[in-house]
Structure 1
Amino acid sequence: MRRARAALAAVLAGAGLIAGLAGCTAGGEAVFGGKPRSPQDAIRIVPGNGAKDIRAEDRIEVSVADGRLERVEVVRVEDADQQEVTGRISADGRSWRPDGGPLRLAAKYTVDAVAVDGRGRRSARHTSFTTVVPEHRFIGYFKPENRSTVGTGMIVSFSFNRPVADRAAVERAIKVTSQPPVEVAGHWFGAQRLDFRPRDHWRPGTRVGVDLRLRDVEAAPGVFGIQHKAVGFTVGRSQVSTVDAEKHTMVVRRDGRVLAKVPVSAGAPKSTTYNGKMVVTELYDVTRMDGRTVGFGGEYDIPDVPHAMRLTDSGTFLHGNYWAPPESFGSVNTSHGCIGLRDVKGGSPDTPGGWFFDRTLVGDVVEVVNSRDRKVAPDNGLGGWNMDWARWKAGSALR
């Protein structure tokens, strides 16, 4: 199939539930033990998913029409230090509200909730929203998360809330350095996205620092930055997996050595999988995939896809598959553009899907070869490794 943050925080991991926008498809919710329900019938979160320009005095509220909330976690992310928003679930279990205090301006928040309905069926939701940026100011939202451990293919990516006219001034104010040191260059994708990467994948064990000195930098006439902070991440072991769509196999290499050869099922002839190098950007234990959200009509709506790993913004996932005949893996391509691994309903660590998921980091590279599709675009997810070094550096405003 074609077309969601590292396995959600412990609050959801402890319940064994993950849900969010998913690809091959996209759906805001997964339901366990019954038919999928609309978000209005299950967990309701205010502000809505993807909401922008939320004011400091606006309230966060999580509620259910049926059953009770088990857990709620609200976190301010993409900051030098993540900060949890404390709150309480009401006595009847129907709602959660924060303890108090205004939201921080120019910030991004995530909300994760787990609920149980009156029939004992669990559901989970993951949403995010951003608060208003003061007039005549701009901010860059960035990945990966501060203090995270990532794969060697991680690209530092900034998305700005307003178009940047003076790209050189903004790029000059962001320093990406590493230990051991390597040359790192920026590349602009339009006026609101700036990515940084080295010539080749990071060396395992590298410590990467990102120094933002955007405060008072004029990005456009009369529009100034407000960020002044230092963040960083650590590069873990190297893992590069090569999917051969023609041979229906995936060879997993850890630190250059073959770890496993896994049978897969890639995109069917009418919905082929992109060729090229892709980077894992999000992991979900379980998510919903609905063909109506990516132009496939009612061809599928699977509420509990296990072990889903996002590869592109447009919705390519590598995920567990329990609904296809076991013999299809390694022999035929059947999906709507994603890469499927044999799995069981509910997911299991003993299946190929569970085995690979448990050994994957955000930042790991998956390369698809021998598919009858075009190469993935460099700005579709973290696809920048599909550019050679000369072309990448040509996209810098400092050249």
Structure 2
Amino acid sequence: MSHTPRTTTVAGCTLLAVALGAGLTACDGDDNPLAAAPYDAADQISFSGPGGAGRKADPDKPLEVVAEGSDGRITDVTAMDTSGRYVAGELSADGRRWHSTSPLAADARYTVRVSTENGDGAPGRKVLTFVTGKPGAQKRLDVAFGPEAGTYGVGQPLTAELSDPVTDPAQRAVVERGLRVSSTPAVQGAWHWVDDKELHYRPAEYWPAHTTVQVRSNLAGIKIGDRLRGGTTAPLSLTIGDEVIAVTDAAAHSMTVFKNGEEIRKIPVTTGKPGFDTRNGIKVVLGKEPFVRMRSTTIGIAEGSSEAYDLPVHFATRVTWSGEYVHAAPWSTGSQGYANVSHGCTGMSMENAEWFFDAVREGDVVSVVNSAGHTMEPFGNGFGDWNLTWDQWRAGSALTAGGPQAPEQQEAARLRPAAA
């Protein structure tokens, strides 16, 4: 009986070699922990790695795939761990070398799929698996995502609190690259470093109504800096509710509330009087308190002075941590719609305050215009994130600062068209 011999593309040892933190070794062998049976074109491909049975790859070293023979090139490489994290990489123009450009995780199992092509255009493929070693004694960078799972308004930023400060720009890029946000529908968004231990994420414009948002960390086991690796972080899922935007015109003494682009109520209000002017700009609802006792001493007004007060307040919707609310102010109903007489809060009748209290949720937007007050701080006194333009926001990212943006990534909208 006769048979047709199988044609191989390389004479001698190997077409491909894989290196992880060690020099390229000899041909494929049974004792090579990185060797794996090919699923096609077995004679075209073999691998070498750290060498020696039981050896594990060094996660701090790059992964390389190299075409060693003269006849053939690499066409594609994918590397992924069992958590579904892909390793980014670059393939040289001549197809002779692929190398990883993102770090490997420690104590993780990876699968590498390599596709090749010989001089005649015939394809070859092979799969290899390997395990990275465990790190030595190192600090772990933990991440806590916020807010809690639930339904929020269209202005709600995501937050990431780090267990340790990260100051180095390259390390910040590693951290930021590992914090992944996805949404349905998809939006343009970016992280912004508030300080060395806190990041906020927001889209270019408000979240679309009824968006679902997922945020997760891919940093587990990833080297961030010397003796610092990412820890395991629980993912977070949020739902965005209806678009509710309240616009307070301090000069006109009125608040207009919009829901999904439609005006649903116009409310006479009073805002901060001269010397206590309400902050301009965009704020986000932080919480709701049915009853609050408001004392002037909490904002620096001395007890017994002509401006002192101690009042029971109902239906208080908080918009800053320093004590600015939208609330019922039955003592000033004669001024509501006509004059600004408060100490910085937005006051309205008991009926209107109860309606507003029931109509809004955390993350809804409260915007103040035409006040003599300064603009709401971006950070530190609530969520003033939307008072930064989109360019300013992206400048606070370790990944997008100074980079090009797509045409649709324009300056963040201050108000929806219907709320202008």
- Please tell me whether the aligned partners of residues 241 and 251 of structure 1 are also in contact (alpha carbons under 8 angstroms): yes
Letter paired with 1:160: L
Distance 2:163 2:309 in 1: 33
> Which of 133, 137, 146 is the matching residue for 1:143?
146
| 1:173 equivalent in structure 2 | 178
- The 8 Å contact of residues 142 and 233 in structure 2, kept in 1 or not, is answered as no
Provide the TM-score with structure 1 as the length reference: 0.60
Deviations 1:230-289 (A, max 9, x none): 111111111111101111100001111110110111111011011111111211111222
Q: Which of 258, 261, 269 is the aligned partner of 1:264?
A: 269
CA contact (8 A) 2:327 2:345 kept: yes
How far the C-alpha of 1:309 sits from its partner, in A, is: 1.5
C-alpha separation in 1, matches of 2:264 and 2:208: 19
Structure 2 counterpart of 1:386, one-letter code: N
Please state how far the C-alpha of 1:328 moved relative to its aligned partner.
1.5
Give a deviation string over 1:99-118, Cα, whole Å, max 9, x none: xxxxxxxxxxxxxxxxxxxx
Partner of 2:360: 360
**Segment drifting more, 256-265 vs 283-292:** 283-292
Partners of 2:368 and 2:336 in 1: how far apart?
A: 16
Of 371-380 and 268-277, the range deviating more from structure 2: 371-380
**Cα drift, residue 365 of structure 1:** 0.5
TM-superposed deviation, 1:385? 1.1
- Alignment RMSD (CA, Å): 2.1
1:290-336 deviation per Cα after TM superposition (whole angstroms, max 9, x unaligned): 222222222445463211122123332212223x2321111111222
Amino acid at match of 2:399: L
Residue equivalent to 2:315: 307
Partner SS for 2:334: helix
Q: What SS does the corresponding residue of 1:189 show, helix, strand or coil?
A: strand
Q: Which amino acid aligns with 1:368?
A: V
Percent pairwise identity? 36
For structure 2, which runs of at least 5 residues remain unmatched after alignment?
1-137, 401-420
Conserved 8 A contact 1:248-1:264: yes
Aligned to 1:393: 394
Distance 2:280 2:369 in 1: 5
Q: 1:286 aligns with which of 287, 291, 296?
A: 291
Q: Distance in 1 between matches of 2:346 and 2:308?
A: 16
The counterpart of 1:316, out of the listed 300, 324, 327, is: 324
State the alpha-carbon separation in 1 of the partners of residues 321 and 172 from structure 2. Answer: 24
- 1:275 and 1:371 in contact (8 A); partners too: yes
- What is the TM-score with the length of structure 2 in the denominator? 0.57
Q: Could you say which residue in structure 1 is the equivalent of 2:156?
A: 154
Residue pair 1:164, 1:219 contacting (<8 A) in 2 also: no
Runs of at least 5 residues in structure 1 that lack an aligned partner in the other structure: 1-134, 344-350
Give 1:217 shift.
4.7
Instruction: Note the C-alpha offset of 1:144.
Output: 2.1
Change in Cα spacing, 1:228 to 1:281, as seen in structure 2 (3 Å) is same
Partner of 1:332 in structure 2?
339
**Residue 374 of structure 2 corresponds to residue 374 of structure 1:** yes
Could you list the per-position Cα deviations for residues 171-221 of structure 1 after superposition, in whole angstroms to 9, with x for gaps in the alignment? 112111100111221111121221111111111111000112343455665
Kindly tell me: are residues 211 and 296 of structure 1, through their superposed partners in 2, closer, same or farther at Cα, counting changes over 3 Å? same
Give yes or no for the alignment of 1:186 onto 2:187. no
Q: Which has the larger radius of gyration?
A: 2
Are residues 163 and 293 of structure 1, via their aligned partners in 2, closer, same or farther at CA, if it must alter by over 3 Å? farther
Structure 2 partner of 1:52: none
SS in 2 for 1:169: helix
| Contact 2:151/2:240, CA 8 A, preserved across alignment | yes
Opposite residue 180 of structure 1, the aligned amino acid is: P
Structure 2 counterpart of 1:314, one-letter code? S
Q: Number of residues paired by the alignment?
A: 257
Q: 1:258 to 1:175 in 2, by over 3 A?
A: same
1: CA distance, partners of 2:220 / 2:295:
42
Contact 1:288 1:301 in 2 (8 A): no
User: Offset at 1:152?
Assistant: 1.0
Match of 1:78 in 2: none
Deviation at 1:161, TM superposition (A): 4.2
